[in-house]
Structure 1
Amino acid sequence: MAFKNHSSRTMFSSSSTSFSFRFTTIITLAIFIFCSSYYILFSRLDCSPVTSSPGNPPFAGDLRDLTSPWNKLSLGPISEKLKLAVFCKSWPVGSIPGGMERHAYTLYTSLASRGHEIHVFTVSSDRSNREEYYNRGDLHVYFAPNEHGTLNHSQAFEIFHKINGLDHPFDYVHTESVSLPHWRVKMVPNGDIAVTWHGIWYEIMHSNLFQELSNDRPISDLQQTMPRLVDEIRFFPKYKQHICISNSAREVLVNIYQLPKRNVHVIVNGVDQTKFVYSPESGARFRVKHGVPDNGTFIVMGVSGRLVRDKGHPLLYEAFALLVKMHPQVYLLVAGSGPWGKRYAELGENVRVLGALKPEELSGFYNALDVFVNPTLRPQGLDLTIIEAMQCVKPVVVPNYPSIVGTVVVDERFGYTFSPNVRSLVETLDSVVRDGSIVLEMKGIACKVYALSMFTATRMASAYERFFMCMKNERLLYSGNYLLLSDGEDQDLQD
């Protein structure tokens, strides 16, 4: 649910706060950190099944009636192995993969590590015309590019049909968005196909609206959006099952696109929780490497991703320029490449533009921050950077879009929200600075607990695994043995 912006300003008052109140706060924080650390450690080691209680009832009935993310289900191990065909836009090749490539790699390597036979039909992220095949255990990846470097569907289907006839046919087919176009769906045997939507045109329409209002953009983008939206609503029913990565997207597909409720599901994205970890040491090394002051008085903010307009960098650029005049002790680390990198460098010594970071550098980057800022003007999907920062025990500053506040930053314990305009962002960043490091640390701990319960590669892969198993064998939909975990619980899976 949405919540009021920067409402935590009243949590800690200014220097007039009494000593007794500060002492009580510090003791409370110490207890909270100890309990949270104890919980995080032992919840990862506890493999015992979750027991039901009045506050944690079992989910009974058809899983297709579940409106919450499948990630929240308490799912035990399964013994049956699946043979899955996957169509995705691109596969990570090179040192700096994008968010979608990282998602695909994380999900399908996780499923393969669980013993499932995964066949991925894709192209390389560097857009080369390479035609290669490689396998890593149960993970098989086939590059089938056309002359433009995008997926050659005819070639991909030739390989698909050949593999489908070997040993035994595919149990199910999965496509990431329209990597498998709707006019090719009829070529899938029995129509057994599920599609995961990482963004829909209804959300893109909102994106164009926000950018129009924020940047005085020509209205042509909005005029072009509506026909694309109508076309999308018409072809969506050609896919059999739909997976959304946010609760708000599910509501749109059911209430506006008018898809049957039982054909629309939510499985949120996860990141490799073994790579994005809390490590003050790596954060300190990162600060030293990039010349960031570490005298205990600075609040270090960070932003990452493509440094382009629709990611909200005009907002953050203007907001931070105003903020640094109010609070000279703030610092901004900018990770990524794009035209706005040079503009950020104009803001002076309080900003470090780092360029694009390699995957192994990202955890150190997040750990170097006090708070992570995502100013995006694209209210679609779920940006992995928010989840990665939360896994590294960092609170977040995000726009109050339905996809974010309805699924990720569902509570003010996890950070701050703002309306996508400069004034609101300045007010929110001002609240961040005034709250100070103790409040930010508390919010970061809450982020980690919640992220472990929802946004891990383990939990994401388990949800997809059970989903495909249920699609193959509908009797599993009615087992009635699942428990719906409340926010922050993570008792049934080893990470």
Structure 2
Amino acid sequence: MNICMFCRVVPDHGRGGMQDVVFDSAKNLVKIGHYVSVITTRHPKGTTEKIVNGVKIYFLNKTRSQKYGADWDREAKEKLVNLHTKQPSDIVHTQGMAAIWLPRFLKEEGIAIPTIISLHGTYWDELKTSINVMTHPKTFFSIVYSSALILLFLVNHLKTMFRIRMFDLVIATSPEQREILRERYFVSSKKIKVVLNGIDTHLFKGGRCLANKGISLLVVARLNEEKGAHIALQAVKELTNLIRDIQLIIVGDGKDRKYLKSTAAKLGISNFVHFVGFVPLTELPEYYRSCDIFLNPTLRQNGYDLTILQAMASGKPVITTNIGSYPTAIDSGKEGFLTSLGDINDLVEKILILYKNKQLALDMGKNGNIKVEKMFTSKQMAKNLELCYLKLTKK
């Protein structure tokens, strides 16, 4: 099949869950015999097109890098028509809201191609994330900013509600997302298919056993408020009174890095916290292998971060927040623990349980590895997408 995808970002734009999922699914679809092209926003260095692992990527350089807008809509439509004229597409698939205009546009152009939208999150999720941040703020400004975002996301939620229902198939990345699409967007159950996101399990594998003394905690995240790294810092502050040899490794970068370093200093835990900064995907496995427990105290509602799957594949117990789609990945008490939103005491309690019971931590790590291999590989993700395509095209 000739598959044309739309996405705001690809790995050339930087690290992130969306770009990893899109590119992993695309390259695995190529491996099983399909032709895949991806239309995306301007390349940071001006590249117009390239082929990576058999995937043809088109960068629209009249657009803003990683941003939507009238320029993106116009040029993306032109590129789609141009590609379809040269080699007709069998499926057009937008990742997220990148090409939410697809069904109406194709109808206006008289082009009959099945359309699919994958929703890794929705504006409803963004709205709830803003509420989470507002109720667990790092500063007073967070409350003001989140209040403004709530109104914006509510408007966008209402604007996209009808347009999502126009697609031939709507892909949810978890059962929780499926229910949001049914209950908040009124999408027919017959139109929704759950396709779980996956990771490259050849890259992420089991690591060392837990240390006999002390404990090493790991956070891998973009450093902004909704990812909850500030909550991890407060938990470590409490733990330094109970565990002498403790360290928190924070991998990632973002606008809050300076604030988080300042917070660590104010809490008196700078000697226990190490800010690594950005790490390439190929170097991440070593950080997972070297930690004892992976922390993800996120406030972000939509989906589940790929980092928890990477940690699970690496054989590490995961402690994350009981919101969004995280219960799909973590069965609390089996692969790790789910904690209450923004609850520092709950997070501390769960860390102490694993610190005091290393066999439980090891068992959870093994359970997580098994679960990822069974449910969350990039190969399975691509195969499930292929089944969706075949059903729509009747091929």
d(CA) in 2 for partners of 1:420 and 1:384?
19
Report the Cα distance in structure 2 between the residues aligned to 1:466 and 1:97, rounded to whole angstroms: 28
Q: Distance in 2 between matches of 1:171 and 1:336?
A: 38
TM-score (norm 2): 0.88
Matched residue type, 2:249:
L
5+ unaligned residues in a row in structure 2: which ranges? none
Residues 132-157 of structure 1, C-alpha deviations (whole Å, 9 max, x = no match): 22224642111113253346333333
Deviation at 1:240, TM superposition (A): 2.3
Match of 1:334 in 2: 250
Aligned to 1:325: 241
Mapping for residues 238-317 of structure 1, pairs under 5 Å: 238-280=166-208, 296-317=212-233
The answer to whether structure 1 residue 105 and structure 2 residue 26 are counterparts is no
Is 1:119–2:37 an aligned residue pair?
A: yes
2:175 and 2:78 mapped to 1: Cα distance? 36
Quick one: distance in 2 between partners of 1:220 and 1:91? 29
What is the aligned partner in structure 2 of residue 132 from structure 1? Answer: 48
Amino acid at match of 1:310: E
> Which amino acid counterpart does residue 202 of structure 1 have in structure 2?
W
Of residues 430, 435, 439 in structure 1, which corresponds to 2:360?
A: 439
Paired residue secondary structure (1:412):
coil
3-state SS, counterpart of residue 365 of structure 1: helix
- Structure 1 position 183, deviation (Å): 6.4
Deviations 1:194-240 (CA, angstroms, capped at 9, x unpaired):
00001112212221221121116133333443333222323322222
Q: Which has the higher contact order (CA 8 A, sep 6+)?
A: 1
User: Following superposition of structure 1 onto structure 2, how do residues 42-191 of structure 1 map, counting pairs within 5 Å?
Assistant: 82-93=1-12, 97-123=15-41, 128=44, 130-136=46-52, 138-149=54-65, 150=67, 152-167=72-87, 169-182=88-101, 185-187=104-106, 189-190=111-112
Pairwise CA RMSD of aligned residues?
Answer: 2.2
Tell me if the contact between 2:332 and 2:338 (Cα under 8 Å) persists in the aligned partners: no
Q: Which amino acid aligns with 2:26?
A: Y
Contact 2:207/2:288 (8 A) holds in 1? no
Q: Secondary structure, in 3 states, of the residue corresponding to 1:93?
A: helix
TM-score (norm 1): 0.71
1:194 is aligned to: 116
Residue equivalent to 2:282: 360
Alignment CA distance shift 1:225-1:161 (3 Å): closer
Task: Select which of 210, 227, 238 maps to 2:155.
Answer: 227
Larger Rg: 1
Count of aligned residue pairs for this structure pair: 375
User: Is 1:344–1:351's contact at 8 Å kept on the other side of the alignment?
Assistant: no
For each residue in 1:390-437, what CA deviation from the matched residue of structure 2 results, as whole angstroms up to 9, or x when unmatched? 1111110000114111x11134210011111223222222323233x2
Contact kept? 1:108, 1:118, Cα under 8 Å: yes
Counterpart CA distance in 2 for 1:120 and 1:416 is: 37
Structure 1: state its 5+ residue gaps.
1-81, 284-293, 477-495
2:378 to 457, 466, 469: 457
Instruction: Give the conservation status (yes or no) of the 8 Å contact 2:173–2:196.
Output: yes
Shift of 1:262: 0.6
- State percent identity of aligned pairs: 22
Question: What is the rounded CA distance, in whole Å, between the counterparts of 1:227 and 1:137 in structure 2?
Answer: 39
